[in-house]
Amino acid sequence: MTAVAEVPAAAESSRPVAVRRRKRVRPARVVLHVFLTVTALVWLVPLVWAVYTSLRTFADTSQHGYFSLATALTFENYENAWEQAGLPHYFLNSVIITVPAVLLTLLFSASVAFFVSRFNFKVNLFLLMLFTAGNLLPPQVIITPLFRMYLLIPLPDWLSNGSGLMYNSFFGVIMIHVAFQSGFCTFVLSNYMKTIPHELTEAALVDGASVFRQFWQIILPLCRPAFAALATLLTIWIYNDFFWGLVLFQTGADRPITSAISSLQGQYFSNQNLIAAGALLTAIPTLAIYLALQRQFVSGLTLGANKG
């Protein structure tokens, strides 16, 4: 048992101690910090520029240009974007799509990963190939047949937000996200599960635990770091998607926020400051998730089964 608990934690805890022992203040370190600081700042410039633009009024920038000192900074654009684009409503749509999609993807890929990593059936290799390759396909390739298929699949009203079809339903969009994303997650999770010693489930098996209990009570809890990492990535991908949200919905009010934000970009009139504010607002949820799960993020993302 103790050996197991250490596995996921090993990457985080053991190394810093080892390295710290040799730590000295060297010029190389200073150079490194300067380099990293400069890089980080350069990487931030586009965002800072957008933030700056969003805090200025349209009147100010149209008179003085964007590359000028602001006469005043205001949150006016944020308020307007929030109201004009009806952001709260679309945020809710995004949540309705993203949360179930992330949870289902994790559940499904954990199931498949459990199977391919813990049991030596002949189909394992084939399954992994199928999922991994499928995940890498360009989405444009499948859109026409998928759309037609969605038009043919009836759904009860409570699942289809009233459309009666897989098309134009939250359920349909959630399903395509799950189908697509489960490839990458299955791959990562199966690698992760392989690092969990086999004695563990074996002991449970001897105790007469069912396969489901092994999965639910032993393996899943141990995969928490990997789940944190994947949940972060999945949230980023699914929340940020605008392709499926655009193509599979016909009811404008049901679209997720990333598809809806373009309505701020008027056909005949555009207010850059307003769009900047709206755009930045949409980025807040993913940013929050990333910051919240950041600690687990890197350590949980075991991509190669190469841990010593």
Partner 1 sequence: MARPRPGQLPTLDRRSVLKVLLAGAGLAAVPGLAACGSGGSTAADPNTVTFGSNGSDAKPKQAYQAVLDAFAKQSGGLKAKPNVQDHQAFQQNINSYLQGTPDDVFTWFAGYRMQFFANKNLLSPIDDVWDKIGANFPQAVKDLSKNPQDGHYYFVPIYNYPWGVFYRKSLFQEKGYTVPKTFDDFINLAKKMQGDGLSPFVQGFGGGESWMLLGTFDYLNMRTNGYQFHMDLMHGKESWSDKKVKDVMDSWKRMLPYYQAGASSKKWEDASAALVNKTGGMMVIGMFVGQSFTNQADYEDLDFFAFPEINSQYGTDAVEAPMDGFLLSKNPKNPDGAKKLLEYLGSAEAENTYLSIDSSNLAVNDKADTSKYGTLQKKAVQFVADAKQLSQFGDRDSDPGFIQNVVEPAFAQFVQNPNTSDSLLTQIQSQKSQYFQS
Partner 2 sequence: MTVITDAAENVAGAGVPGSGRVRRLTGRDKIVLGLMVGIPTLLHVVLVWVPTLVSVLLSFTRWDGIGGLATIKFIGVQNYSTMFTVSPTFWPAVQHNVIWLVFFVLLPTPFGVFLAYQLDKSIRFTRFYQTAIFLPVVISAAVTGFIWQTIYDPDNGLVNSILGTNKPGGTYIEWLGNSHLNLWAVLVAASWKQAAYIMILYLAGLKGADPSLREAAALDGASEWQTFMRVTFPALKPINIIILVVTIIESLRAFDLVYVVAGTNGTKPGLELLSILIANNILGESSLVGYGSALAVVLLVISLAPILSYVFQTFRKEQQS
Return the residues of window 35-54 that contact partner 2 according to CB under 8 A: 35-37, 39-41, 43-47, 49-50, 53
Residues 101-120 interacting with partner 2 (rule: CB under 8 A): 108-109, 111-112, 114-115, 117-120
CB of 17 to partner 2, least distance (A): 10
Which region among 72-80, 84-92, 155-163, 289-297 touches partner 2 (by CB under 8 A)?
289-297
Q: Nearest to residue 109, comparing CAs of 230, 207, 3?
A: 230
- The runs of H, that is alpha helices, within the chain are 2-20, 27-54, 58-64, 76-84, 87-118, 124-136, 143-152, 157-160, 170-194, 198-206, 211-213, 220-222, 224-240, 243-247, 257-260, 272-300
Structure-block tokens of residue 144: 């026409």
CB of 264 to partner 1, least distance (A): 9
C-beta of residue 227 within 8 angstroms of C-beta of residue 61? no
Residues 240-259 interacting with partner 2 (rule: CB under 8 A): 240-243, 247, 258
Nearer to partner 1, 118 or 255 (CB): 255
Task: Return the residue of 64, 148, 198, 307 that touches partner 1, per CB under 8 A.
Answer: 148
Residues 77-136 interacting with partner 1 (rule: CB under 8 A): 84
Task: Return the residue of 156, 221, 304, 308 that touches partner 1, per CB under 8 A.
Answer: 156
Q: Does 131 bind partner 2 (CB under 8 A)?
A: yes
Q: Which does 31 bind (CB under 5 to 8 A by kind): partner 2, partner 1, none?
A: none
Q: Does 268 bind partner 1 (CB under 8 A)?
A: yes
Task: Return the residue of 27, 46, 145, 308 that touches partner 1, per CB under 8 A.
Answer: 145
C-beta of residue 294 within 8 angstroms of C-beta of residue 233? no
| Integer angstrom CA distances of residue 88 from 171, 261, 263, 285 | 20, 12, 14, 12
C-beta of residue 85 within 8 angstroms of C-beta of residue 277? no
Which region among 16-24, 195-203, 245-253, 281-289 touches partner 1 (by CB under 8 A)?
245-253
Q: Does 149 bind partner 1 (CB under 8 A)?
A: yes
What DSSP letter does each residue of 237-250 carry, written as one string? HHHH--HHHHHS--
CB of 88 to partner 2, least distance (A): 18
Sign of the CA dihedral running 31, 35, 40, 42: positive
Nearer to partner 1, 139 or 266 (CB): 266
Q: Does 139 bind partner 1 (CB under 8 A)?
A: no
Q: Does 247 bind partner 1 (CB under 8 A)?
A: yes
Which region among 15-23, 221-229, 257-265, 300-308 touches partner 1 (by CB under 8 A)?
257-265
- Rounded Cα gap, residues 137 and 205, in angstroms: 38
Residues 171-210 interacting with partner 2 (rule: CB under 8 A): 175-176, 178-180, 182-183, 186, 193-198, 202, 205, 210
Q: Nearest to residue 104, comparing CAs of 228, 234, 288?
A: 234
Structure-block tokens of residue 174: 């959630």
Q: Nearest to residue 236, comparing CAs of 192, 172, 184?
A: 184
C-beta of residue 85 within 8 angstroms of C-beta of residue 91? no
